[in-house]
Structure 1
Amino acid sequence: MSKPIAGVLLFGMWGLYLCYLFLGLSPWPSAILAWSAALLLGPRLDKAARRQCSILYGAGLLLLLFCWLNGVRFSAKELFLPNLDMVALFTAVSTLNLATSALSDNHQPNWRGWRGLASSLLGVSLLGAVINMSVLFVVGDRLAVNGTLDRRQVIILNRIYCAAAFWSPFFIAMAVALTYAPGMQFSRILPFGLLAALGAMVITSWDIWRLGIADFEGYPLRLQTLRLPVLLCLAVLVGKWWWLTLTITGIIALMAPLVSLLLMPRQNVVVALKQQVTQRFPAMGSQVVLFLGAGLLAAGIHGLTQILSPQALFAHISHYGVIEAALVTLVILFIAYLGVHPIIMTSSLAPLLWHLHPDPSLLGMTFLFAWGLATGATPLSGANLALIACFRVRAWNMLIWNLGYAVKQWLWLIALYALYIWCYL
C-alpha cells in the first residue's frame, strides 16, 4: 500500500514543482512531498540499492557533522532543496514510457557493429545537446535488456552525453561559463568545443573497439525511433524560447509528460495513467532516495571545501595560460570525484582567477571543458547517478571504466587550450 501512496506523493511533488517554476510558489511543498516519498520507498529498496543509499547518507551525515563541529553552518535550503529539480525531472521523463511502446519500433532490431556505434554517438550527442538528461532514458530504455546496459552502452551514454556540455548552448554549463567568464565569445569557443566532443567520441570508439565491436548493439536512427526524441527536442526548443529564464531541466519537466500524453496509444488511457502513478513512479524509488541523499553529500563536501580551502592551490599563479587552464581542469575533475559538482568549484575558483585578467573565452572554455570531463568521468555526477540508479550500474565499475578516458580526454583538452592560444593570443 505504501508504494501507491508514494506514487501519488511523487505526482504531487511534480505538480507543485511546476507551480514553483511557472507560478512562483514556494519550493518547500514540493520538497516535503519528495522527502516523504523517499521515506516511504527507502526501506523497500532492494538490498544493493539500500546498501548504496546507506553509504551515501552515512557519508553525507558524517561530513555535515564534521563541518558543523568546525564552525560551518548550513541552511535548510542547502540541505533539503538540492536535486529537487532532478527528482522532478526523473518523475517527468518516466512518463516517456507511455509513448515508447507505440513509437520505439521495438519489433525492429537495434543496429549492430560500427553502424550501431556511429548512430549511437551521433544520436546521444545531438539529442543530448538539446533535451539534456532525458536522452539517457530515451536511448537507455531502448537498449536495456532486463533493465540493464552493458559496459559499452554505458560509456557511450555517460561520456558522449556529458561531452555535449563542451559546446551546447542548452546546457546549464554554458550559462555558468558566461556568468563566471564575463566577455566570453560563444563563436570563438564553439569550434574547440566541437573538437573536444569529437575527441570524446574517438576515445570512446577506441575503447568499444577493444571491448568488441561486432556484437555491439546501438541506438537505431530510424524515423520511427527518432519521432519521440525529435518531438521532445522541438518542444524543449519552443519552451526555452518562450521561457528564457528557465533551465532546460525545468522545461523538460513540463514538456516530457505533455509529449508523452500526445503520443501515447488511445486505448485504456485511464488504466495506463493509473499504472504510471501507482507503479511506474514508485519504481523510481532508488533514484529519488539516491538523488536526495546526493544533495546532502554535496552540501557536506561543499562545507568541507570551506574548511580545507582547495582554492589555495591558485594563490601563487600570476598568469593564465595552458598550464593554468590544465590545472584548473584537473582540480575541478579531482574534486568532482569526491562528489562536488563542477558548478560549486567554478563559482569558488573563478573569483580567484579574475585578478589574472585571463582571456574571457579561454577561461570560459576551461569551465566548459572541466564541466564536461568531470560529469562524464566521475560516478557521482547527476548523469552517472541516473545511469547507476536506473540501469543497475555499479558505481565502482563506473569509476574504473572511465579512469583511462579521464586521462586521455584531459590531455586532449590541454592540446585544445594550446591550439586556442596559438589561434587567438
Structure 2
Amino acid sequence: MKRLTATFSGYLLLLSLAMSLLSAIGHLFDSYWAGIPIWLATFLFFPHLKSSQKKQVILLLSLGIIGLVYGSFHQLNTEYVLRAIAANQMVVTMLVGVGFLKLFATEPTMTEKPLPIGKRSLIKTLVGVHLFGSVLNMSSVLIVGDKLAHRGPVTVTQGVTLLRGFAICAFWSPFFAAMGMALTNAPGAQLSTLIMYGIPTSIAALFLSAWDIVRQPNVDKLAGYPINIYSLWMPALLATIVIVAHLIWPNISVLSLVSLTSLVFIGLWLALNEGRQAITITKDHIHSGIARSAGEVTLFASAAMLAAGVATLLSSLDLKLAPQHFGAMAAVITLLILIILAVTGMHPVTSVVIAGSILAPSVTDPNLLGLTLLMGWSLGITLSPFSGVQLSIQSRYHISSYELFKHNWRYVLFMYGVCVMTLSVYAHLNA
C-alpha cells in the first residue's frame, strides 16, 4: 500500500473515531455520519486487499446493494439505508481505538532472557496469550509466536496454544471485535450479562485446553513465553475500567467506552514513558499502523451493507425465516450453524450479521442471542482453517491446517457441549 494512501486512510479513520465519540458522548449529531469517512477509507483500501478478500467484499456489497435496490421498489425503510451508511462505525472505531494499544510495550516483550521450558511454561503461555489477546487482539498471537520462533520452529502444540488462548477471548472480552458485533447485532444485550456468562465459559475452555496441551508428546521439551503477573496489569486494568464505566454511564455505548479508554490509556502511557517522542510515535501509527487493519475495516463496512440489504429484503418479501420464539433450543441450533458456516469459510462477521438480521423478529431476550453469537465466533475461528488467526499461524509458522484441525475438533465438540449447557442454564434462569 502506498504511503500516501495509508496516511490519508489513517486520518479518515481517526476522523471517524472522533465523530463516533462525539456522537455517542456529546450527541452532537447522528451517529451514521461517522460512517462516511469509513466508506472513503474502504474505497482507498480496496485495491490493496488480497484477491480472496476482494472477492468476499464484492460478494457482500453486491448482496447488500441488491437487497436495498429491491427494497427501494417496495417502500424502502430509510432506517436500512442509514444502517448501510453507518458502516458498522462503532465496531470499526473500536477497532481503530484498540489498535493504538499496540504501541504499548511490556518488559516480557522486550526481554532477551532464555525461554522457559516445560508444561508449566506452556500453560502460562496459554493464559498470557488469552489475557493479552483480550485487549491487544491478534497482536498477542504474533508477539508471542515470533518470540517462540526465535528459538526454533513453532510446533503444532505451540501453535494450538496460541490459537486457543486467542480464540477463547471471544467468549467475554469487551475489547474483542466479537463483542462489538454481538452488541451491534443483538440490540439490547448487556455487557455485564455477556461477561458474567462468558468468563465461566472461558475458564472451562482454558482448563480443557491446558489439560489437552500438557498431554501432548514431548511437551516437557517445548518452550513457552516468559509471562509474569506484572506484565498482565494492563489488560486487567483496562477491562475493569470499561466495566466500571459502563455501570456508571449505562447510556453510553460499550464500544465507545472501549475506544475512549484505549485512547486515554495509551495517551497517558506514551506521555509518561516516551516524552517528546510520544507525538512522533503516534503520527507513525496514524500514517502506517492504522492501515494494517485495512482488511478488517473493509469487511466490517461491507458487512454493514449486507446487513442492511438482508433486513430490507426480508422486510420487503415479508419472509419469516426465524423461529416463532428464540429460546434455548433455537440458540443451540444457531450456534451449531455458526460453527458449520465458519468451517466452510464464511467470516464470523458475515455469519453474525446474517444471524442477527434473520433472528431479530423472534428475539425477546437479546442477551441469549448475544451469548450465542460470541460462542459461535470463538468456536468457529478455532475450528475453521480459513479464520484470520488460523491463516496467520499457518503461514507465519508453517503449521498445516490439517494438523490444527486434528488437534481442535475434539475441543470444539466438548466446548459445544459446555456452551449448550451455559445457554440452557441462562434460558432457564431468565425464563
TM-score normalised to structure 1 length:
0.70
> For residues 301 and 23 of structure 1, what CA distance do their matches in structure 2 show?
31
> Is 1:378 aligned with 2:385?
no
Q: CA RMSD in A?
A: 4.9
Counterpart amino acid of 1:161?
C
**Partners of 2:147 and 2:225 within 8 A in 1:** no
Pairing 1:269–2:272 present = no
Tell me if structure 1 keeps the 8 A contact 2:183–2:370: yes
Identify the residue that residue 220 of structure 1 maps to in structure 2: 227
Cα pair 1:373 1:406 within 8 Å, conserved: no
Gaps of 5+ in 2: none
The correspondence of residues 24-423 of structure 1 with structure 2, limited to 5 A, is 24=27, 25-43=29-47, 45=48, 49-68=49-68, 71=71, 73=76, 75-100=80-105, 104-108=109-113, 113-123=118-128, 134-137=135-138, 139-140=140-141, 142-145=143-146, 151-164=159-172, 179=188, 195-205=200-210, 208=213, 210=216, 213=219, 214-215=221-222, 217-218=224-225, 220-223=227-230, 225-264=231-270, 265-302=274-311, 311=321, 314=323, 326-331=332-337, 333=339, 338=346, 339=348, 340=350, 342=352, 345=355, 349=359, 352=362, 366-367=368-369, 369-379=371-381, 387=389, 401=405, 405-415=411-421
Kindly provide the CA deviation profile for residues 361-414 of structure 1, in whole angstroms up to 9, marking residues without a partner as x: xx95x535422321113359xxx97747988979x959x846554433223333
State the alpha-carbon separation in 1 of the partners of residues 321 and 184 from structure 2: 22
How far apart are 1:161 and its partner, in Å? Answer: 0.5
What is the aligned length?
394
Change (3 A) 1:175 1:226: same
Change in CA separation of 1:270 and 1:178 when aligned onto 2, cut-off 3 Å: closer
- Going from structure 1 to structure 2, the CA distance change for 1:405 and 1:255 (only over 3 Å counts) comes to same
Question: 1 CA distance for matches of 2:430 and 2:301?
Answer: 43
Corresponding letter in the other structure for 1:243: W
Q: Deviation per CA, 1:269-311: give whole Å up to 9, x if none.
A: 3322322222222333333223323333444455566669573
For normalisation by structure 2, the TM-score amounts to: 0.70
The residue identity in structure 1 corresponding to 2:229 is R
Percent of aligned positions with the same letter in both sequences?
Answer: 17
- 3-state SS of the aligned residue for 2:321? helix
Task: Determine the C-alpha separation between the residues in 2 that align with 1:108 and 1:244.
Answer: 45
Q: Is the 8 A contact 1:60 1:298 kept in 2?
A: no
Equivalent position SS for 1:217: coil
Q: Report the AA paired with residue 93 of structure 2.
A: A
Q: Does the CA-based 8 Å contact 2:115-2:226 persist in structure 1? A: yes
Q: For the Cα contact (< 8 Å) 2:127–2:165, is it kept in 1?
A: no
Contact 1:3 1:279 in 2 (8 A): yes
- Distance of aligned partners of 1:198 and 1:277 in 2 relative to their CA distance in 1, 3 Å threshold: closer
Q: Tell me the CA shift for residue 334 of structure 1.
A: 5.2
